[in-house]
């Protein structure tokens, strides 16, 4: 990628060489370009080119062509997480921009820079352009224009706060100054000054700050002369008293008005229409060694109601899609892709089979019994293979358990089998089922675990919807994993950790305030108005719709990543077991609520309810299958 400043520096030196050679017989060494001159050439090549500066794109144009852009969001991480343009990369500080461009942000598309109101990214845009990144745009009016819920910064900062604009021309008072001296060398001065400017952060100032002491500032009005004098077509009635007029694209070169700027540290305040262009000009001047700031909100803050162009209005606001949550590391993205493909597909999850169907087709299945060796030895489904710990499952599948039939996993009540089922599915074992209600449904002599744990232990369910208080979070990083092996590694780690469950105590309900409770129902059942008989939900629980909520663009970013235990519950504990296992593989701290709603309000359930009709008296075997 050709760098403008390199070409301009070479041109400047070549011109100096031509000036210094008076004849072939009496050559004169050309004066070397100063670092300021080299930096000024780089700046002028950009700011005096109206095809690139300010280089804005509207929210509408970006939205309509989003696939053609790499979006860089330069708001705080918290604001980015709360809602950003889909696919945007977050760079929350100007100082981190160059490192992000070199390491994590792809370079195969045009860049679109966005911030809160379109002003901060002016510093970033000129920095990228001077460092050789071409095809850089800044989003006009920032995220305020992308979504109306984020438009407050513009809506609250427009106004007519300059009561008596000046219309006389002050440029006759301008005097020449020496140029600043920039330490460094010509070969690296642009890089040095760009990085210094970015490290210093957004240099801005408000009208309220300068208004009481205007004579302490050098105010640079970046309009054409007619608008500066209040006679142009843009609707401005004049300019800030004492301001000087610098014509856009024609005033900031070495042979133009650059020498009229004070170099003694006097603060220079640059203003334009919206602050978008003046941000770039202020950044340019700071790279040249001046003390410059952009006037926030520009003329929209000074005389908004009179503007006929470049004006913030309700028409600038849209309601385009907002993606919630933080950026995904490659490791998390790889793990999420595997979880999403399984967990959000209701053809596979939860994937239960009843005892009756298994009994009627037993020869068609390989049964894996994950109860203890003692309980397995006391009686199991004929032909079942025993894997007494989740941590031993994958090894048994690779060494002793045949793979010629679909699998059925059984446990005591059907809940811990959920951890095993999702593990097998993510490791590529297809046609895996878990036995609904586990061995409690296979034979009545084993049904005690279900009978002993059903009840109405939530005497006062809540029916209000708490989702309005959800706060978005970043995603776990899984930074110690390799994207190529993260699924295998995280599945193994989840199984090794064993069954992760939480039991609702009785008769005294537990204190749930330390927990983030996920209700894995549809919204009607969550609110107690559905057809399945649940009278509400655990107080403080949040509603996550099955098969649609555990997605990047949906509810997943609302899960806490600070170690807060997440308790997931459903009807029987079988689906929530798989959801909890999935969340643990994604880096969350999740547990399934044992026995689900059957423990909370069993008597009111009309579906997914444990009853005597669920248990059978199918034969139990003590024979161990041949290996």
Q: Mind listing the pLDDT tens digit for each residue in 128-171?
A: 999 999 899 999 999 999 999 999 999 999 999 999 999 999 99
Quote the tokens at residue 301. 């803050």
Whether residue 226 lies inside any domain: the answer is yes
Q: Which residues lie closer than 8 Å to 398 by C-beta, 6 or more apart? A: none
At residue 132's C-alpha, the angle toward residues 128 and 138, to 5°, is 35
> In this structure, which long-range contacts are made by residues 361-366, counting pairs with CB atoms below 8 Å and at least 24 apart in sequence?
364/405, 364/406, 365/405, 365/406, 365/407, 365/408, 365/433, 366/401, 366/402, 366/403, 366/404, 366/405, 366/406, 366/407, 366/408
**pLDDT given for residue 193 in this prediction:** 98
Structural domain boundaries, residue 367: 330-614
Q: CB under 8 Å to 400, separation ≥6 — which residues?
A: 385, 627
Is 282 found in the same domain as 396? no
Distance CA 519, CA 364 (A): 35
Q: Rounded to an integer, what distance in angstroms lies between the CA atom of residue 82 and that of residue 116?
A: 13
Taking phi over 0 as left and psi of -120 to 50 as alpha, with beta for the rest, 380 belongs to beta
Residue 248 belongs to a domain: yes
> In the predicted model, is pLDDT for residue 10 greater than 50?
no
pLDDT reading at 216 higher than 90: yes
Where helices occur in 245-313 by DSSP H, the ranges are: 276-287, 298-302
Domain count, the chain: 2
In this predicted structure, what is the pLDDT of residue 29? 61
In a domain, 358, yes or no: yes
Tokens 């050439």 belong to residue: 41
> Is 36 within the bounds of a domain?
no
Please state the φ and ψ torsions of residue 597, each to the nearest 5 degrees.
Answer: -70, -20
CA 273/CA 304 separation, integer angstroms: 10
| Contact (CB, 8 A) for 89 and 104 | yes
Of 294, 316, 338, which residue sits at a domain end? 316
- Residues 94 and 130 placed together within one structural domain of the fold: yes
The span from the CA of 29 to the CA of 451, in Å, is: 100
Distance of alpha carbon 380 from the chain centroid: 49
The pLDDT of 88-109, averaged and rounded, is: 96
How much is the pTM? 0.81
Among 316, 344, 376, the domain boundary falls at 316
At 26 the pLDDT is 56
Domain shared by 105 and 212, yes or no: yes
Same domain, yes or no, for 191 and 55? yes
Give yes or no: residues 91 and 197 share one domain: yes
| pLDDT beyond 60 at 199 | yes
Q: Is residue 626 part of a domain?
A: no
Average pLDDT over residues 184-198: 97
Whether 202 and 282 have beta carbons less than 8 Å apart is answered as no
Of 281, 316, 351, the last residue of a domain is 316
Q: Judge if 209 and 352 occupy the same domain.
A: no
CB atoms within 10 A of CB 438: 26
- Please identify which residue in the block is written with the tokens 């235990």: 565
Shared domain check, 299 and 383: no
Query: What percent of the chain stands above pLDDT 70?
Result: 95
C-alpha–C-alpha distance, residues 554 and 353, integer Å: 29
Residue-wise pLDDT tens digits, 407-442: 999 999 999 999 999 999 999 998 999 999 999 999
Residue 300: pLDDT above 90? yes
pLDDT at 2: 38
Residue 32 and residue 49: Cα distance in Å, rounded? 26
**Are 80 and 316 within 8 A, CB to CB?**
no
Q: Kindly state whether residue 625 falls inside one of the protein's structural domains.
A: no
Q: Is the pLDDT of residue 20 over 50?
A: no
Identify whether residues 290 and 357 lie together within a single domain.
no
| CATH code: domain of residue 572 | 3.40.250.10
Residues 529 and 409 occupy one common structural domain: yes
Residue 446 lies in a domain: yes
Do the Cβ atoms of 123 and 202 come closer than 8 Å? yes
| pLDDT on residue 480 | 84
Model confidence band, residue 230 (pLDDT cutoffs 50, 70, 90): very high
Average pLDDT of span 363-382: 98
Same domain, 287 and 395: no
Are residues 103 and 189 both part of a single domain?
Answer: yes
**In the prediction, which pLDDT does 17 show?**
39
SS3 label, residue 456: coil
Q: What is the pLDDT of residues 248-275, one digit of tens each?
A: 999 999 999 999 999 999 999 999 999 9
Is the model more confident about 13 or about 66?
66
- Residue 12 is predicted with a pLDDT of 47
Asked if 479 and 601 sit in the same domain, the reply is yes
Residue 322 lies in a domain: no
Q: What is the pLDDT of residues 330-371, one digit of tens each?
A: 999 999 999 999 999 888 899 999 999 999 999 999 999 999
Q: What's the mean per-residue pLDDT of the chain?
A: 94
């Amino acid at each position: 990628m050709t760098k403008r400043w390199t070409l301009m520096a070479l041109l400047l030196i070549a011109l100096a060489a031509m000036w210094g050679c008076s004849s072939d017989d009496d050559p004169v060494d050309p004066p070397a370009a100063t670092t300021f001159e080299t930096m000024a050439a780089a700046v002028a090549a950009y700011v005096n080119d109206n095809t690139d500066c300010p280089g804005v794109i509207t929210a509408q144009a970006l939205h309509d062509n989003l696939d053609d852009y790499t979006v860089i969001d330069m708001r705080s991480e918290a604001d980015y997480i709360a809602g950003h343009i889909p696919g945007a990369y977050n760079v929350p500080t100007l100082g981190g921009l160059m490192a992000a461009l070199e390491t994590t942000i792809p370079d195969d598309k045009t860049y679109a820079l966005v911030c809160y109101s379109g002003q901060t990214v002016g510093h970033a845009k000129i920095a990228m352009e001077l460092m050789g990144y071409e095809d850089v745009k800044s989003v006009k009016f920032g995220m305020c224009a992308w979504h109306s819920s984020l438009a407050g910064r513009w809506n609250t900062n427009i106004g007519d706060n300059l009561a008596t604009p000046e219309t006389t021309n002050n440029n006759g008072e301008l005097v020449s100054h020496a140029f600043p001296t920039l330490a460094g060398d010509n070969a690296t001065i642009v890089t040095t000054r760009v990085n210094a400017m970015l490290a210093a952060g957004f240099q801005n100032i408000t009208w309220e700050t300068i208004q009481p002491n205007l004579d302490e500032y050098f105010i640079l009005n970046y309009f054409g002369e007619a608008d500066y004098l209040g006679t142009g077509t843009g609707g401005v009635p004049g300019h800030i008293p004492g301001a000087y007029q610098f014509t856009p694209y024609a005033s900031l070169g070495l042979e133009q008005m650059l020498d009229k700027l004070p170099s003694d540290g006097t603060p220079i305040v640059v203003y334009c229409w919206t602050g978008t262009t003046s941000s770039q000009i202020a950044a340019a001047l700071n790279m040249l060694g001046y003390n410059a700031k952009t006037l926030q909100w520009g003329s929209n803050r000074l005389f908004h109601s009179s503007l006929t162009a470049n004006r913030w209005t309700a028409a600038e606001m849209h309601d385009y899609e907002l993606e919630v949550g933080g950026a995904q590391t490659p490791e998390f993205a790889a793990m999420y892709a595997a979880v999403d493909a399984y967990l959000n597909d209701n053809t596979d999850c939860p994937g239960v089979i009843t005892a009756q169907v298994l009994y009627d087709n037993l020869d068609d299945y390989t049964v894996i019994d994950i109860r203890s060796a003692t309980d397995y030895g006391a009686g199991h489904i004929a032909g079942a293979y025993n894997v007494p710990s989740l941590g031993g499952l994958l090894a048994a599948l690779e060494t002793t358990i045949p793979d010629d039939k679909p699998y059925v996993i059984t446990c005591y009540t059907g809940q811990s089998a959920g951890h095993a089922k999702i593990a097998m599915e993510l490791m590529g074992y297809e046609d895996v089922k878990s036995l609904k209600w586990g061995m409690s449904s296979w034979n009545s002599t084993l049904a005690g675990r279900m009978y002993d744990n059903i009840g109405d232990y939530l005497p006062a369910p809540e029916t209000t919807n708490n989702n309005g208080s959800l706060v978005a979070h970043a995603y776990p990083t899984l930074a110690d994993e390799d994207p190529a092996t993260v699924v295998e590694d995280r599945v193994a780690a989840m199984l090794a950790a064993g069954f992760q469950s939480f039991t609702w105590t009785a008769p005294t309900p537990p204190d749930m305030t330390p927990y983030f409770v996920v209700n894995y129902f549809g919204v009607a059942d969550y609110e107690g108005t559905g057809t399945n008989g649940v009278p509400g939900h655990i107080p403080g629980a949040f509603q996550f719709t099955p098969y649609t909520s555990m997605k990047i663009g949906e509810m997943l970013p609302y899960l806490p990543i600070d170690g807060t235990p997440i308790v997931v519950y459903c009807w029987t504990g079988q689906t929530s077991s798989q959801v909890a296992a999935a969340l643990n593989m994604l880096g969350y701290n999740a547990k399934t609520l044992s026995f689900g709603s059957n423990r909370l309000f069993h008597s009111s359930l009309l579906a997914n309810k444990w009853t005597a009709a669920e248990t059978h008296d199918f034969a139990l075997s003590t024979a161990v299958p041949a290996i």
